Amino acid sequence: MRTHRLAVALASSTVLALALTACGEGDAESESVGTAATEPTDTTVTPTATAASVSASASASTSATATGQATKGAGSQGSGNVGGTGAGATKTSSAGTGSGSAKPLDCTTGSLKFAVKEVKSPINHVLITATNTGSKACSIYSYPALRLSDVQQSVTARIGQSKPQAVVTLDRGATAYAGLITASVDRNSQTKVTTSSIGLSLFGPDEGPTESGADLPVPGGSLYVELDNALVTYWQDNANDALAW
């Protein structure tokens, strides 16, 4: 009887030991699996790889931007230098040539054809013209120096307000104009004369007298003038401005 109970007790002890061993192994496996699941291997590797990738991309982008800016800057500078040099050289050359070779001569009575023309309006006016018959352009200065009579003491007075802003330059075949007021409206003067021609000479750049002038026949062979009331305009480049006074 004791032997049987001892055998049962031993058997129970063995079963219990086996159960405890099994539980210990299960707990060890669970602990091992839990430890493996919480290892930060993937978490550590991934951020490192991402950071390296971002850093590499940023470096590449910065390098590309710097290279592009350097290339653009060099290209712009080169284009500016070429354009500036070309435009500047052309402009300077053109301006120099134009101002040097095209400078007009001074007009002379020998290179001009003069005429006195009657006009309907305004009254008591005639138009004096000077046409360039020379082969080159010339400048005609100030106003025509006129002598309307042999008894005239000085050239006919000018209308100061008629002075143009620039000297009139005549190309070949071009004409300059001057308006001559011959008398007052009421024609009441003590210095009235009748003339068949008008003496004309030119002024130089300093308004000094030039060579001897020309005698211009008047329309119809006779022109009534009043020496104290006669006035002449500066040379103009068109007839309207010459007759506007």
pLDDT for 118 equals: 94
Read off the pLDDT of residues 223-232 as tens digits, 9 standing for 90 and up. 999 999 999 9
Percent of the chain with pLDDT over 70: 57
Q: Report the relative pairing of strands 197-203 and 214-217 from DSSP bridges.
A: antiparallel
The pLDDT of residue 20 is above 60: no
- What integer is the mean pLDDT of 208-230? 89
The pLDDT of residue 80 is above 60: no
The class of domain 105-242 in CATH terms is mainly beta
Q: Which amino acid type is present at position 191?
A: T
Which residue did the predictor score with more confidence, 34 or 199?
199
Read off the pLDDT of residues 117-155 as tens digits, 9 standing for 90 and up. 999 999 999 999 999 999 999 999 999 999 999 999 899
What is Dmax (Cα atoms) for the chain?
188
Which residue did the predictor score with more confidence, 213 or 161?
161
**Residue ranges per structural domain of the chain:** 105-242
The pLDDT of residue 90 is above 50: no
Contact 227, 184 (CB under 8 A): no
What tokens were used for 197? 């021609």
Q: Report the relative pairing of strands 157-158 and 214-217 from DSSP bridges.
A: unpaired
What is the overall mean pLDDT for the chain? Answer: 71
Least confident of 35-39, 137-141, 187-191: 35-39
Integer angstrom CA distances of residue 117 from 41, 85, 114, 125 = 114, 54, 10, 9
Q: Which amino acid type is present at position 59?
A: S
The pLDDT of residue 62 is above 50: no
pLDDT category of residue 206 using cuts at 50, 70 and 90: confident
Contact 170, 140 (CB under 8 A): yes
Q: Give φ, ψ of 211 to 5 degrees.
A: -65, 170
pLDDT for 226 equals: 96
Integer angstrom CA distances of residue 174 from 169, 200, 202, 238 = 9, 19, 17, 10
What tokens were used for 76? 């712009």
Integer angstrom CA distances of residue 115 from 48, 53, 177, 219 = 103, 95, 10, 9
37 contacts: CB under 8 Å, gap ≥ 6: none
What tokens were used for 190? 């003590």
The pLDDT of residue 105 is above 80: yes
Contact 19, 11 (CB under 8 A): no
- Per DSSP, 243 falls in state T
Which residue did the predictor score with more confidence, 130 or 60?
130
Give CA–CA dist 133/110, Å, rounded. Answer: 9
pLDDT for 61 equals: 44
Q: Which amino acid type is present at position 69?
A: Q
pLDDT for 137 equals: 97
